[in-house]
Chains A and B, each alone.
Chain A
Amino acid sequence: MAEIILDKVSKSFGSVRVINEVSLTIQSGEFVVFLGPSGSGKSTLLRMIAGLETIDDGRLLIGGKESQTLPPGQRNVAMVFQNYALYPHMTVRDNMAFGLRNIKMAAPEVERRVQDAARMLEMDALLDRRPSELSGGQRQRVAIGRAIVKEPAAFLFDEPLSNLDAALRVRTRVELAELHQRMNSTMIYVTHDQTEAMTMSDRIVILNDCRIEQIGTPMEVYTRPASRFVAGFIGSPSMNFLKGSYKDGAMTLLDGSRIAARVAVPEADTYELGIRPEAVKVCEGEGEGDTKGQVKVVEHLGERTLVHVHLSDGSAIVAQDGGRSPVQPGDEVALRFDISELHLFDASGKAWHAE
């Protein structure tokens, strides 16, 4: 268990800067997810911690030890790869023991650790099989087992669930969360799947364009996104954005409707109003809403219904209705905004939240 500190680390590939002065402290025992779209630098950052990529500038402290120049094997971290990278010609046991044998650990100790890990992951029976004889989920476990036996200061996961089918992914997610609670070890987990991030992490680090956009607990990033990017990236279906201008505590949208907004923005200007679908309600009667529009598509999801509406100026908005919504495509509906969940974003993407 160790604290990991990134202090203004940077990296370039040739002249392209891929990580720019990132600073971050990961507490001992914390489960941190790096979340971001592809190309955001999240994997690079993880690999810099692992030692698979160089750190051009800045410092990396793992358990208080300067590690930015250490070779990967000596950083006391273990990594689970996206494709697991199980050595196909070795049995499960040999796969797990390979790293330990490489540091010339005594055979009984190696065997003990392998057995312990196997027991913990409930795969004692698989030890003598080869990876090709395992299912996807089992391979995943072996990959984790291979990390566990090293008893590392931190676990690094590089999109480890992306090769599993949907059902297995959900189950493994829960198992991973359990594992984290049981082992209470530092874990860094890279994914582009916000559900994984939201469900498993203590904190989420959202990366975009080689920078950290926001660091926070899942609820923080959901309810108080620091930027337009985070607001749009987190949540499914994603937040609605409507262009308009703010003046004196109200937003005027392009279709002319005015929406009260208690937001402490510095000055009157054009802003984007952001509101999540669950904060937009379809009204029963006409004239009650903040705005109105024509229903284009209705998606019944069971416990709720998503209603895609075009406002009169043509901008699209998604509203959420109850599970048994009677709304039909073509209907004219009024929409009411829950103004306590309003966000405004200025041209640079900075966010202000409703008070």
Chain B
Amino acid sequence: MTASSARQINLVGGIITLLTLIIAILWAFPIYWGIVSSLKPENEVVRPYIELWPETLTFEHYIFALTETQIGRWYINSIATAVGATILTISTSMLVGYALSQLRFPLRRPLYWLILASFMVPTQTLIINHFVLVANMGLLNTWAGIILPQLINPVVIIVYKQFFDQVPRDFREAAVMDNAGEFRILFKVYMPMNWGVTTALAIVTFIWSWNSFLWPFLAVTKTEMMTITVGITQVSDAFGVYYASQLAAAVLAGLPVALAYLLFQRRVTQAITLSAGIKG
């Protein structure tokens, strides 16, 4: 390779890198723009020219949203339902994943197929009957009602099964030789060995649940029970008809998960790839 062609390749590489950077910045720009707009007074927001930084920096929309609206309530609802859904999904899925992976019992195969099949089936089509069911159980407008249909999460089971499958058989046998019962094997050996997986799955389940819209939107008819994801689009007295305060509420709704992501970036990305690791 001659020196000039090497330089040429470096140049091309440099351009690609630069392009990637520019696109990345443009990509995130709407987020930046939303945040900046929410920090402007309403009359500044609708000025007919581009103003990349507020002339008058104001937190009035945030103060308004936090003090005058039910956003605090919605936060609590979102946290409670997302945490609840995460804990329940993780714990039940872990048990099933373990049983599928390590135990032999009648109808094990059909059960596994049922779970795989439910991965394909759109839960969105079940909204009508979920609504009827939850209504009949008297669980509309309750955290339990919001959580219940979110527990269908075959991906978590499948990932757990795959991870338990990958644990060398020796560990199980060593534990059996060590007189450990089935539950001790699960909770003292397999679970602790897979903490990384559990954390990762918990993170994605939490994000999914926090972000879920359709079901919480249907299952709640009372404003004080709404999750924040739904609330900011459904209740108008909170924000009037103005743009900046709506954006402030949106920023508040996105903030917890965004912060969680920025703090646990590596874990989250790992979790995402994990959640897609389906090999059928």
Contacts and interface: CB of A to CB of B under 8 A. Distances in A.
User: Quick check: do A and B touch in the complex, using CB within 8 A?
Assistant: yes
Interface string B126-141: 0000000000000000
A349 interface: no
A78 B181 CA distance: 17
Interface residues of B, number: 18
Nearest to B174: A85
A82 B168 CA distance: 11
Contacts of A83: 168, 170
B127 to A, nearest CB: 42
B76 interface: no
Nearest to B172: A85
Contacts of B15: none
Given A81-B173, A82-B170, A83-B168, A88 B178 contact: no
Contact of B195 (A51, A74, A89, A103): A89
A98 to B, nearest CB: 5
A83 B169 CA distance: 10
A52 B176 contact: yes
Contacts of B171: 85, 87
Contact of B189 (A52, A74, A84, A87): A87
Nearest to A102: B179
A88 B168 contact: no
Interface in A118-147: 146
Chain A contact residues: over half helix, strand or loop, or mixed? Answer: loop
B51 to A, nearest CB: 54
Contacts of A85: 168, 170-171, 173-174
A52 to B, nearest CB: 5
Interface string B183-207: 0100011001101000000000000
A99 B178 contact: yes
A98 B170 contact: no
A87 B193 contact: yes
Given A88-B193, A89-B192, A72 B177 contact: yes
A143 to B, nearest CB: 9
A265 to B, nearest CB: 47
A72 B185 CA distance: 14
A175 B256 CA distance: 58
Contacts of A87: 171, 174-175, 189, 192-193
Most chain A beta-carbon neighbours within 10 Å: one of B177, B188, B193, B195: B177
B180 interface: yes
Given A83-B168, A85-B168, A87-B189, A98 B173 contact: no
Nearest to B192: A89
A79 interface: yes
A317 interface: no
A12 B179 CA distance: 25
Contacts of B195: 89
A5 interface: no
Contacts of A90: 192
A51 B177 CA distance: 8
B177 A79 contact: yes
A52 B170 CA distance: 10
B174 A79 contact: yes
A153 interface: no
A78 B177 contact: yes
Contacts of A82: 170
B177 A73 contact: yes
B171 to A, nearest CB: 5
A94 to B, nearest CB: 10
Contacts of B189: 87
Interface string A67-108: 000011110011101111101111000000011001100000
B90 to A, nearest CB: 18
A113 to B, nearest CB: 13
B196 to A, nearest CB: 11
Nearest to A78: B177
B178 to A, nearest CB: 3
A267 to B, nearest CB: 50
B178 A102 contact: yes
Nearest to A103: B179
Nearest to B171: A85
Q: In the A-B complex, list the 9 residue pairs whose CB atoms are closest, starting with the nearest.
A: A99-B178, A73-B179, A85-B170, A85-B174, A89-B192, A102-B179, A81-B170, A72-B176, A85-B171
Interface of B: 168, 170-171, 173-181, 184, 188-189, 192-193, 195
28 contacts: A50-B173, A51-B177, A52-B177, A72-B173, A73-B179, A78-B177, A79-B173, A79-B177, A81-B170, A81-B173, A83-B168, A83-B170, A85-B168, A85-B173, A85-B174, A87-B174, A87-B175, A87-B189, A87-B193, A89-B193, A90-B192, A98-B178, A98-B180, A98-B188, A99-B177, A99-B180, A102-B184, A103-B179
Given A85-B174, A99-B178, 5 more contacts: A50-B173, A50-B177, A84-B170, A87-B175, A87-B189
